[in-house]
A and B are shown apart, each in its own frame.
Chain A
Amino acid sequence: MDFDDSPDEAAYRARVRELLERHASELVRLRPGQEAVDPRTSEAELRRTQRVLADAGLVGVAWPAEFGGQGGTLMQQAIVSQELARAGVPALINHIGIGMCGPTVIAHGSQDQRERYLTRLLRADDVWCQLFSEPASGSDLAALRTTAVRDGDDWVVNGQKVWTTLAHVADLGILLTRTDPDRPKHAGLTMFVVDMHAPGVTVRPLRQMGGQSDFNEVFFDDVRIPDSERLGEPGEGWRVALTTLMNERVAIGGAGGTIGLPVEAFVQHARERLPGLDPERQVLARQAVGRAVVAALGARYSGYRRLTALSQGGLPGPEASAGKLAGTEAARLVADAGVRLLGDDAVYAATGEGDDRWQRTQSWIPGIAIAGGTDQVLRNIIGERVLGLPPEPRSDKTVPFSGGRR
């Protein structure tokens, strides 16, 4: 057990820092107190930032070299992520592509698809999105209704996706469709790569409860997709989607990353605000601060354990769902304590000086508890796949999708 860098890791970290300094002027940076840069207003700068980083060998660190990656370790990837955060570089614009779509193409794509897509993905030449959820199928993803019908060498897609992060800037997406409604719901699905600029694709922004517009609804009206853009076999879409979903849970807090505000930033806030509270309030506020810090550290160190296991050759398994669950709870406690530390201004969730960071942080939490597997779905996954508890009865699992509910 050792939380310090090994000599190899220390040398790698030094090299990463040197590269980030060398390219500093070409990278977008967060201002103090800023957590994210909006692709709606800064798309070109964010694409350029990722391209510079990719060309410096700092994107796709743990991807195999044959797919445009660096062939490095997951520990090296974690080091790069830490150093990017330290340097104030915002999340990469193609984080959905890197975290979910790319690994899915690697696992299930043809050699031709891998060659055409992966290097461009890492350089943000193409930004990707993930077209899974629909208005009538969120948690019950396999009940989706967007159809793809074979027509010569093409498939013709009709339907609607929703909650699609980055669809408004994306060039490509992975698209889960129903190709055989006469089979049970999991067995009639097929995955494609779709060109987001193709005729018939319409992207409309959705406004979230916090006021921002990070995601979209996407409509498909007779969109033609060549059969060569299929990912995996017809009817195998569920298996392909599971690759995506498993990578998603590792990407969201599964392996040492932080969901929400880093505990260090929260502690800095507490340091500034605690002395301004009444002495009696300070006692109560310290309880809330301590509880949030304990939860955040528990989630962080549990992530380090999963990162260690993954870097020693383990596969991302259902345990990663615990990381997202615990990370979400920690983020909730951090956001709530952060607001309470504002004293009388807590009702505005903003400081008198106009810093509304805590309003954004607080209003983001309900979304984290839903995105990428709701807290309840994750509990089912852990209960059934980790603890071995009996599954929920699922009355629609074996009947034809069309006969079951349409």
Chain B
Amino acid sequence: MNFDLDDDQRDIAAGARDFFRGSASPAAARAGLEGGRPEPGRAALSDIGFLGITVPESAGGAGRTLLDLAVVAEQGGAVLAAPSLVTPARAAVLLAGEPELAAGLADGSTSFAVLDGSPDGSAPSVDAADATTFLALDGEDLVVGAGEVVPGRPLDATRGLASVRLTSRRVLATGAGELWARARQVGAVVMAAEDLGGADRCVQLGVAYAQEREAFGRRIGSYQAVKHLLVDAWVGVEQLRSLVWWAAWAADANPGELPLAAAAAKACAAAVYEQAAGTLVQVHGGIGFTWEHDAHLFWRRAKVDRLLLGDEAEHLDAVARLAVAGALGT
């Protein structure tokens, strides 16, 4: 057994960290709430190859594993990057039999979104707001088409949420229910990885502030009431990291474990990110409640992500059902 990233994955993570820190930021997420554009945006993500990480090499992608993608997604989550890598990960699964469409995904020439809910009026779906080509499940058919996009008023502008009604549709595959479910599980793992990056960043920012800020004559991080909040958030982040890595690994190396592992990771992500972002605001006190401070941008992401691709309750239920049905090998 060896449960750690390898050198290659550590290099990928370091490269992704440099890229995202240079091209996205909480400030851009704040600007997004006031009409600004998402950063780094689809074009920059396709230029650096992040839209095709799990697309096969034969279709112009990198042909790498979901774990490789997850370590990149974590770095994007740390700076609230948009659009999400959930969409390319999920679309790459759905387009496994469609090399031409997959090539358009990888090179950024087609702006995909994957729709949740009915193609005749979808639920708010990730990065649908600026997409032009939509993948949806129509009954048991996987379909692709154009659509009419209705954005909502965003709580977190970085998620690009919009409802879509397909105005054209072409069937890519019939009997696609299982493929669709697997793609959604992969998407849940990638969102959990982005949430891991965001939650980890919240703990770092909270710790840094608690090391400096003084109250009642000493630094607030020395008070157990503050210290233990941050520790609990950090312990949560460490549990989440383990579940995200395990789930991402399982997607390629042990697919039978993916449904349970993905549900566990997503349920954990919902709780851990909310806790970490809430802690970040609380540790900053009144400063953390201001528009100018970054804390609310992580908090917004946490409040939105916990509901996307299934909320905590849905995934806890899935974990229980799958475990009882024998998914842990018992």
Q: Are A389 and B316 in contact (CB under 8 A)?
A: no
Contacting residue for A304 out of B242, B318, B320, CB 8 A: B242
Give the chain A neighbours of B67 by CB distance below 8 A.
1
CB distance from B70 to the nearest CB of A (A): 11
In the bound complex, do residue A291 and residue B330 qualify as a contact, i.e. CB atoms below 8 Å apart? no
- CB of A294 closer than 8 Å to a CB of B: yes
Q: How far is the CB of A256 from chain B (nearest CB, A)?
A: 9
Selected contact of B320 from candidates A9, A78, A270, CB within 8 Å: A270
A271 touches B324 (CB 8 A): yes
Which of B221, B242, B263, B267 lies in contact with A301, CB distance below 8 A?
B242
Selected interface stretch from B1-9, B81-89, B129-137, B166-174: B1-9
A322 touches B230 (CB 8 A): no
Is there an interface contact between A3 and B224, defined as CB atoms closer than 8 Å? no
The yes or no answer to A75 lying at the interface (CB within 8 A) is yes
Which residues of A8-59 are within 8 A (CB) of B? Answer: 9
Report chain B residues within 8 Å CB of A6: 1-2
- The reply to whether B320 and A287 contact each other, CB–CB distance below 8 Å, is yes
Q: Which residues of chain B have C-beta atoms less than 8 A from A383's C-beta? A: 221, 227-228, 230-231
Please determine whether A298 and B243 come into contact, CB atoms closer than 8 angstroms: yes
**Which of B231, B267, B313 contacts A387, CB < 8 Å?**
B231
- In the complex, are the beta carbons of A270 and B3 less than 8 A apart? no
> Is A313 part of the binding interface, using a Cβ–Cβ cutoff of 8 Å?
no
Contact A307 B318, beta carbon cutoff 8 Å: no
Q: Give every chain B residue within 8 A of A111 (Cβ-Cβ).
A: none
The answer to whether A326 and B234 touch across the interface, beta carbons within 8 angstroms, is no
Smallest CB gap from A305: residue in B: B3
Say whether, besides A298-B240, A301-B243, A389-B222, A267 and B1 are in contact (CB < 8 Å).
no
Count of residues in B whose CB is under 8 Å from the partner chain = 51
Q: Which of B228, B239, B317 contacts A326 (CB 8 A)?
A: B239
| Nearest Cβ on chain A to B196's Cβ, whole angstroms | 12
Q: Are B320 and A376 in contact (CB under 8 A)?
A: no
B207 touches A3 (CB 8 A): no
**Complex: chain A residue closest to B219, CB-CB:** A390
Q: How far is the CA of A312 from the CA of B6 in the complex (A)?
A: 13
B330 contacts A267, C-beta separation under 8 Å: yes
Instruction: Compute how far the CA of A398 lies from the CA of B90 in the bound complex, rounded to whole angstroms.
Output: 59
CA distance A364 to B213 in the complex (A): 40
Give chain B nearest CB distance to A177 CB in angstroms.
29
Give the distance in Å from the alpha carbon of A9 to the alpha carbon of B323 in the complex: 27
Is A382's CB under 8 angstroms from B234's CB? yes
List, in ascending order, chain A residues with CB within 8 A of B243's CB. Answer: 294, 297-298, 301
Determine which of A267, A287, A297 lies in contact with B324 in the assembled complex, contact meaning CB atoms within 8 Å. A267
Contact B1 A302 (CB under 8 A): no
The residues of A with any CB-CB pair to B shorter than 8 Å are 1-6, 9, 75, 78, 263-264, 267-268, 270-271, 274, 283, 285-287, 289-291, 293-295, 297-299, 301-302, 304-305, 307-309, 312, 322, 325-326, 376, 379-380, 382-384, 386-393
Can you list 18 pairs linking A and B with CB atoms under 8 Å apart?
A2-B1, A9-B1, A264-B329, A264-B330, A270-B323, A290-B318, A293-B323, A294-B243, A298-B239, A298-B243, A299-B239, A308-B4, A312-B4, A322-B238, A326-B235, A388-B207, A389-B211, A389-B221
